[in-house]
Amino acid sequence: MKKRARYIVAFLGWLFCSSFEPNWQFLFRIEAEAKMIETDRMGNIYLVTKTNQLYKYNAQGVLQGTLNYAYLGNISQIDASNPLEIYLFYRELNALVFLDNNLAFRGRLNLGDVGIIQASAAARSYSNGIWVFDQGDLQLKKMAKDGSLLQASGNSLQFAQNKNLSPTRIIDNGDKIFANDSSEGILVFDLFANYIKTVPIKGQETIKIMGESLFYMDETKLMSYQLKQYRRDTLALPQVANNSFSIEKERLYLLNEKGINVYQYKAN
């Protein structure tokens, strides 16, 4: 698995450093009025409709399961970093819902019950715990699934410029923690919630971390920011997207108002 992950990162690095325009091969389309997509390392696709229904498709675009969680409210974030256990974060309810790989309900954690006044973002930790950004005291916190506190960053205003700090996305890649705030940028922490730096990329709702590369969209371009080299690279997209995308292996997933188009890089 690690060898394959290194291959994927090397492939993407080569692709972005290449001087030619890529040849994207269209694979399939999923018709849906979706507001959010996520993918996992197995190539499964998770789609949230505008009415907050959750659908799961396999790597061939075949529907695998669907459940209606609309009664809970708006799904704010999907974390599918562990394909066997999916985390759904409901910001309005200040709650996390845990699903299995068939989208069956496995549990719920009401963050207010464990001292989190209001979370702006929450996600899975690499060790199958929880990362939460607590708006009450402006701290990034790592918690066990029973709600017990494991790590805390301290008040984030000590290293942030924006007094209204409110990250809306957290990603744990097993090495660092990334908290995306559209006004501040992307705050980077170590695994013990110690602040490292801020990546000066603002205004982004969707980001993707693969190895030492951070991906985001800029109008009709897919941007790659190299976290160690502080370098931006650009890749032309095969279509216009609405700022929601994902990348897994050699595949690119683009969401627009009509659905998801899935492409694969094809060598000339």
For the chain, what are the domain ranges?
Answer: 27-207+242-247
* Per-residue exposure over 101-139, b if at least 16 CB sit within 10 Å of its own CB, e if not: bebeeeeebebeebebeebbbbbbbeeebbbbbbbeebb
Q: What amino acid is encoded at 194 in this protein?
A: N
pLDDT at 268: 56
> CA-CA distances (angstroms) from residue 112 to 18, 28, 106?
49, 42, 19
Record the pTM: 0.88
Whole-number pLDDT of residue 171? 97
How far, in Å, CA of 240 to CA of 254, rounded?
8
pLDDT for the residue 243: 62
pLDDT of residue 84: 95
CA distances in angstroms from 174 to 164, 189, 228, listed in the order given: 28, 11, 16
Encoding tokens for residue 117?
């006044």
Q: What pLDDT, on a 0 to 100 scale, did the predictor assign at position 172?
A: 96
Amino acid 21: pLDDT: 63
Quick one: fold of 27-207+242-247? Neuraminidase (2.120.10)
- pLDDT by residue for the chain (268 residues), tens only, comes to 444 444 444 445 545 544 446 678 999 999 999 999 999 999 999 999 888 899 999 999 999 998 865 567 899 999 999 999 999 999 999 999 999 999 999 999 999 999 999 999 999 999 999 999 999 999 999 999 999 999 999 999 898 888 889 999 999 999 999 999 999 999 999 999 999 999 999 999 899 998 888 999 887 788 889 888 888 888 888 887 666 899 988 899 999 888 999 999 775 5
